[in-house]
Amino acid sequence: MSAHHTPASTADLVPVRRAILSLSDKTGLIELATALAGKGVALLASGGTYKSLADAGFEVTEISAYTGQPEILGGRVKTLHPKIHGGILARRELADDMSVLAESGFEPIDLVVVNLYPFEQTVAKPGVTWEEAIEQIDIGGPSLVRGAAKNHSHVAVLTSPDQYAAFLAEFAETGGTRIATRKRLMLEAIRRTSRYDAMISAWVEKQLATSPEPAPAAAFPPSWTPDRPLKLKSTLRYGENPHQKAAWYVEPDTAGPNLATAKILHGKELSYNNLLDLDSALRLVRNFAGPGACVLKHNNPCGAAIAADISTAFERAYEGDPVSAFGGIVGTNRVVDAATAERMAVPGRFLECVIAPGFTPEALQILTTKPTWKNSVRLVSLEAELKPGTGLPEGYDWRRVEGGVLLQDWDAVEADDSAWKVATDRPPTESESRDLAFAWVVCQAVKSNAIVVAKDGQLLGTGAGQMSRLDSVRIACSKAGDRARGAVLASDAFFPFRDGPDVAAAAGITAIIQPGGSKRDDETFTACREHGMAMILTGRRHFRH
The residues spanned by each domain of the chain are 13-203, 231-381, 421-537
Q: What would be the CATH architecture of the domain defined by 421-537?
A: 3-Layer(aba) Sandwich (3.40)
Neighbours of 38 (CB within 10 A): 10
Helices first, then strands: H and E counts in the chain: 19, 23
Q: Which residues contact 179 (CB under 8 A, 6 or more apart)?
A: 6, 10, 11, 12, 13, 14, 152, 153
CA nearest neighbour of 319 among 209, 425, 459: 459
* Integer Cα distance of 265 and 263 in angstroms: 6
User: Residue 186 pLDDT > 70, yes or no?
Assistant: yes
For 503-528, b/e burial (b = at least 16 CB within 10 A) is bbbebbbbbbbbbbebeebeebbebb
Mean pLDDT of the chain: 88
Closest CA to 393 of 198, 296, 257, 545: 257
For 2-6, 7-11, 139-143, which range has the lowest pLDDT when averaged over its residues? 2-6
Higher pLDDT, 220 or 518: 518
Q: How far apart (Å, rounded) are the C-alpha atoms in residues 57 and 487? A: 80
CATH class, domain 231-381, is alpha beta
Cis peptide before 449 (omega within 30 of 0): yes
The DSSP symbol for 163 reads G
Nearest to 27 by CA among 161, 219, 157: 161
Q: Mean of the pLDDT values across residues 213-232?
A: 66
Residue 8 has pLDDT above 70, yes or no: no
Question: Is the pLDDT reported for residue 322 higher than 50?
Answer: yes
State the alpha helices, DSSP H only, in 17-106.
29-38, 47-55, 63-67, 82-89, 95-104
> Alpha-carbon distance 357 to 255, whole Å?
14
pLDDT category of residue 321 using cuts at 50, 70 and 90 = very high
Q: Is the pLDDT of residue 217 over 50?
A: no
Domains 231-381 and 421-537 agree in fold: yes
By mean pLDDT, which of 69-78, 139-148, 155-164 is the weakest? 69-78
pLDDT of residue 78: 66
pLDDT at 211 over 70: no
Q: Architecture of 13-203 per CATH?
A: 3-Layer(aba) Sandwich (3.40)
Burial bucket for residue 190 (CB in 10 Å: 0-12, 13-18, 19+): middle
pLDDT higher than threshold 50 for residue 23: yes
Q: What is each CA distance from 370 to 354, 363, 366, 472, in whole angstroms? A: 15, 10, 5, 38
The pLDDT assigned to 309 comes to 96
Q: What is the mean pLDDT of residues 520-528?
A: 95
Q: Is 177 helix (H, G, I), strand (E, B) or coil?
A: strand
This prediction has a pTM of 0.76
> What is the mean pLDDT of the segment spanning 453-482?
96
pLDDT over 50 (residue 544)? yes
The band of 7, judged by pLDDT with boundaries at 50, 70 and 90, is very low
Whether the predicted pLDDT of 356 surpasses 50: yes
Alpha-carbon distance of 82 to 109, in angstroms, equals 12
| pLDDT for the residue 75 | 66
The pLDDT-based confidence of 262 (bands split at 50, 70, 90) is very high
Residue 96 or 473, more confident: 473
Strand-pairing partners, residue 18, are 42
Backbone CA torsion sign across 311, 312, 314, 319: positive
Local structure of residue 336 (DSSP, 8 states)? B
The strand pair at 263-266 and 18-22 is best described as unpaired
Q: Is the pLDDT of residue 5 over 60?
A: no
Per residue in 396-454, pLDDT (tens digit) is 888 989 999 998 888 888 878 888 999 999 999 999 999 999 999 999 999 999 999 99
Higher pLDDT, 117 or 14: 14
Asked whether the predicted pLDDT for residue 366 surpasses 70, the reply is: yes
| 491/513 Cα distance (integer angstroms) | 6
User: Does the pLDDT value for residue 216 go beyond 60?
Assistant: no
pLDDT for 82 equals 80
pLDDT of 153 > 90? The answer is: no
The Cα diameter of the chain in Å comes to 97
Tell me if 388 sits within 8 A of 413, measured CB to CB. Answer: no
DSSP letter string, 487-516: -EEEESS--SSTHHHHHHHHHT--EEEE--
Point out the residues that are catalytic: 150, 298
Confidence of residue 467 (pLDDT cuts 50, 70, 90): very high
- Count of residues for the chain? 545
pLDDT value at position 213?
Answer: 53
Q: Tell whether the model's pLDDT for residue 205 goes beyond 80.
A: no
Cβ atoms of 324 and 352 closer than 8 Å = no
